[in-house]
Amino acid sequence: MNFLYQTGIFIYAISIKVASFFNAKARQFLSGRRNWRKKLAEKIGPNARYIWIHCASLGEFEQGRPLIEEMSKQFPEYRVLLTFFSPSGYEIRKNYALADIVMYLPVDTRRNAKRFLRLVQPEKAFFIKYEYWHFYIDELKKRKIPLFIVSAIFRENQHFFKNNLWGKWYRQMLLKTDHFFVQNEKSAQLLQTIGLNNYTVSGDTRFDRVAAIAKSAKEIPVVEKFKNNQPLLIAGSTWKPDEELLAAFINNHPKLKVVFAPHEVTEANMNRLEQLLKTSHIRFSNADENEIHQFQVLIIDSVGLLSSLYRYGNLAYIGGGFGVGIHNILEAATFGLPVIFGPNFKKFKEAVDLKNLGGAYPIQNFQQLESILNEFLADNSKLAEASTVCKNYVEKNVGATNLIIKKVFNN
């Protein structure tokens, strides 16, 4: 099975090289890993003690971030090596201040794993959520470096829980893991089915992250004046299908104020969104505090504001649900905003939980969106109830980070 895995990695590497001729992310994937050994050797401090945190991409970084921040406070004697698999994570967080070294994870080969760990010699390793790389895990075990999986979540259809050859081979990676910090009881039960009891049901560290975001949210006076004491919908991380549905509603409901924070802030995307809107709208970069209240729609044409925008909203629509999956709904929920999203949400525990509790509302078409928005706009008590559900849900789930710290460092 090792041979088949190595062959798969080799084929993947070749496909990335081919894709790099016409795909920018593939080029970043390659260029970021070029001469990685030399770059890493130059950055490693002599006699430094390292903690290694690995994230697939930006979403996993947000789960690992509370852990990094708490370790930096409590254990300043350690340095942090932060690795990413995806360019979308690395490019945005390559200058993250609390990590001493930020780099791409070299491709998972036996040779790379040996060289990487020989250079870093971390005292502990944390993989976030669902990153499992065979040779790195194998080498960590050989070197007796403890590996912790943080905010782990498992599903029955994953290879680990199948009794075929691939399943048994994949399962070895779990058997070599020192401890799992899982998000829910179902994940714990799945680990038990394969004889693993080295887990703690700690929840999701993202709750700690969004709670911290809420406490440090920026004031954006122009948005407050734009709202002008009217009901405000924050449309976060939206894509074309989301925007088309929302625009159809907005164009016929002038009393609802809307802030769009699209997932892509390219000029072409801004122009496309503006073409959909038949009502008064303005871009954030052109907004004037004295006149902003006159517009119905504000389009955010920069990055980094979304998490603070939610503080001004009454409702949130979160994009991505008509694509591969919804974006982060917890940043809105922590401010007490009921959340609406498209149909592809079932892999996200928090979305399922909030739907069942009455704080989240999945839609499949315009009629459902129209019905939900009209209901909220007509009934303040329903809006208040859903808002309380969202706030309470976040508050009840904070604390995973401290639980992990105590288990790992105070054992």
Note the pLDDT tens digit of each residue in 331-379. 999 999 999 999 999 989 899 999 999 999 999 999 999 999 999 999 9
Question: Which residues, including other chains, have CB under 8 Å from residue 77's CB and lie 6 or more apart?
Answer: 49
Note the pLDDT tens digit of each residue in 273-288. 999 999 999 999 999 8
CATH (residue range 19-212+399-409): 3.40.50.11720
Q: What is the pTM of this model?
A: 0.84
DSSP string, 7-21: HHHHHHHHHHHHHTT
Q: What is the mean pLDDT of the chain?
A: 93
Question: What does the domain layout of the chain look like in residue ranges?
Answer: 19-212+399-409, 217-393
Task: Quickly name the fold that domain 217-393 has.
Answer: Rossmann fold (3.40.50)
Note the pLDDT tens digit of each residue in 83-134. 999 998 899 899 999 999 999 999 999 999 999 999 999 999 999 998 899 9
Q: Which helix (H) or strand (E) holds 37?
A: helix 36-43
Nearest 10 degrees: CA dihedral of 94, 150, 208, 382? Answer: 110
pLDDT of residue 411: 60
Judged against a pLDDT cut of 90, whether residue 217 lies above it is answered with no
One fold for 19-212+399-409 and 217-393: yes
Note the pLDDT tens digit of each residue in 248-277. 999 999 989 999 999 988 999 999 999 999
Question: What's the DSSP call for residue 238?
Answer: E
Order of strands across the sheet that contains 124-128:
101-104, 78-84, 49-55, 124-128, 147-152, 179-182, 199-201
